[in-house]
Chain A
């Protein structure tokens, strides 16, 4: 039986993408992490009606996503997860705030519409930025960056191992579900009455598995820390990227690009 749930496929897709070889993949993970953080903070520092000021930030995903060979379709898929609640808040703004902000032709645009659109744009930008980060960086690189940023080692280890165990436990759950289905008259899901023993059993099997894996790791010399850590220095390219993105964000935070563009066009 194939594994149910498309979550594992998503993990595999991203892992495949992160193994690519675009210019972005080759950058230092810490540089990418800092650039992403700068982008997120800048985008979120605008107030809720700042639709016009947010639009220039589309350049970040618009330039970097094709550069990194990340399929645009992946972003749409991820937006499906992130959008519903944002949409709810956005629509409630649309309904509750009806004061006219500006007239465009014959149409009156309300503040609610502005905040709704800017909320959705914000959601797209943030989702795209995070996707971009994981699509060009392997988790092992990310965790190495976290270690070098002095995130507690025990937390980073838990993070790495959790990620690695997902596939293992997914298989364990798959075989349990198969057994349940075969003996339970091919029921579609697990009956709620059996939820406790099913999930509890899964947990106990997981713990047993963890103990076996841990014993095996100890036998192979594992001592709690990271065994292999490729230290790679910051290259000039990394420095450039690390400086460029936050600088551009700062400029866009201070300068209204749309207005500037208009003024330039008007001057011609």
Chain B
């Protein structure tokens, strides 16, 4: 689910951009360590274009319409490996945002985090890979894809809820919003998971080496999985912590609940030091450090709480509209003059 710019405050958008930029930077260094990185670039790019092409296929799913989320994070991560998949998804999201208005530009950080970092750098290495490390049978691939896709989408949807709430845009109570988002994305996740399983099953039976090399993280010398797991744990904890501390400043009551929920399912260490450290990092990386969540009463009603405010707004609106009409009229006239000359 692509978030639009309008659903975010500058502070949340900026923080998430910084977090996603860090994740991309980290992935780039990991990929560049790989000797074959240069050869992987065209395949990463093709996988990105493949996401767009797959959207063109109309699946006849009884009862539902489109299938816009076929190129999910888990599918790409399984085919390319986690770090390359994150870059691919980021490129796809940037193109979607620029050329299709699907998701905002400042919201890109959030979208990359929700749909890229969570599935590729958290769910894929911690759930999908371990499930297939011992043997890659068709059944194991199916179970791992469905489970990982559902879980990735659940976390992603939950992140959308957190980010929107932290931005202070919606009046929807936190729990109602979450209760609305999670079941919808459970259904989407199941369908996407089944398709992912089918696609991966097919690719595995045709070219088993593709998924195998992604799982082994080709050419990065063996014996580092534990370090990698710890590192991705740390990065995820910091990023989630930064987000939660933002959220905490807006809704002190919701924090305990959401922490219990997140920590209960992902086993992240979020208490004490990590959270405080994350808050410090958040303060340092936030776009507008002094921008915090004031209630509207504190800031004074922005519309002037008066009819005068409305009239002023209407005047400005008319003035802007007039300017637009004037410029297009002048342009048209110039063009006409040029054509006749």
Contacts and interface: CB of A to CB of B under 8 A. Distances in A.
A206 B46 contact: yes
A49 B296 contact: yes
Contacts of A123: 4-6
Contact of A162 (B39, B45, B210, B319): B45
Given A59-B320, A67-B327, A259 B304 contact: yes
B279 interface: no
B168 A101 contact: no
Interface string A32-44: 0000110011111
A41 B172 contact: no
Contacts of B97: 130
B232 interface: no
Given A47-B299, A154-B37, A192 B61 contact: yes
Contacts of B301: 49, 101-102
A10 interface: yes
Q: Is the interface of A mostly helix, strand, loop or mixed?
A: helix
Contacts of A56: 316, 320
B305 A134 contact: no
Given A130-B104, A189-B60, A200-B203, A5 B55 contact: yes
Contacts of A58: 316-317, 320-321
Q: Max chain A CB contacts within 10 Å: which of B53, B54, B200?
A: B53
B338 interface: no
Given A89-B7, A168-B49, A154 B320 contact: no
23 contacts: A3-B56, A44-B6, A45-B11, A45-B291, A51-B303, A59-B320, A62-B323, A63-B323, A79-B101, A89-B170, A93-B170, A96-B171, A119-B7, A119-B169, A126-B6, A127-B101, A159-B94, A173-B53, A177-B56, A177-B57, A213-B42, A260-B312, A262-B308
Given A5-B56, A82-B4, A192-B60, A52 B309 contact: yes
A245 interface: no
Interface string B172-210: 100000000000000000000001011111110011001
Interface stretch (B24-32, B121-129, B149-157, B257-265): B24-32
Interface in B90-129: 90-92, 94-95, 97-102, 104-106
B59 to A, nearest CB: 5
Q: Max chain A CB contacts within 10 Å: which of B31, B99, B324?
A: B99
Given A162-B91, A170-B52, A154 B98 contact: no
Given A44-B10, A62-B323, A204 B43 contact: no
Interface string A113-156: 01100011011001101110110000100100000000010110
Contact of B302 (A50, A86, A127, A172): A50
Given A45-B288, A101-B303, A130-B101, A201 B202 contact: yes
Contact of B50 (A3, A160, A206): A206
Interface in A46-71: 46-53, 55-56, 58-59, 61-63, 65-67, 69
A131 B31 CA distance: 32
B307 A126 contact: no
Interface of B: 1, 3-11, 13-14, 24-25, 28, 31-32, 37-39, 41-50, 52-61, 70, 79, 87-88, 90-92, 94-95, 97-102, 104-106, 164, 168-172, 195, 197-203, 206-207, 210, 287-288, 291, 294, 296, 299, 301-313, 315-317, 319-321, 323-324, 327-328, 331
A97 B58 CA distance: 40
Nearest to B299: A47
B221 to A, nearest CB: 20
B100 A262 contact: no
A58 B299 CA distance: 23
A52 B9 contact: no
Interface of A: 3-5, 7, 10-11, 14, 36-37, 40-53, 55-56, 58-59, 61-63, 65-67, 69, 78-79, 81-82, 85-86, 89, 92-93, 96-97, 101-105, 109, 111-112, 114-115, 119-120, 122-123, 126-127, 129-131, 133-134, 139, 142, 152, 154-155, 157-166, 168-170, 172-174, 177, 187-192, 195-204, 206-207, 209-211, 213-214, 217, 224, 256-262, 265
Contacts of A97: 171
Q: Max chain A CB contacts within 10 Å: which of B104, B307, B313?
A: B313
A7 B56 contact: yes
Contact of B56 (A4, A85, A105, A154): A4
Given A7-B100, A126-B6, A204-B203, A188 B58 contact: yes
A191 B60 CA distance: 5
A179 to B, nearest CB: 13
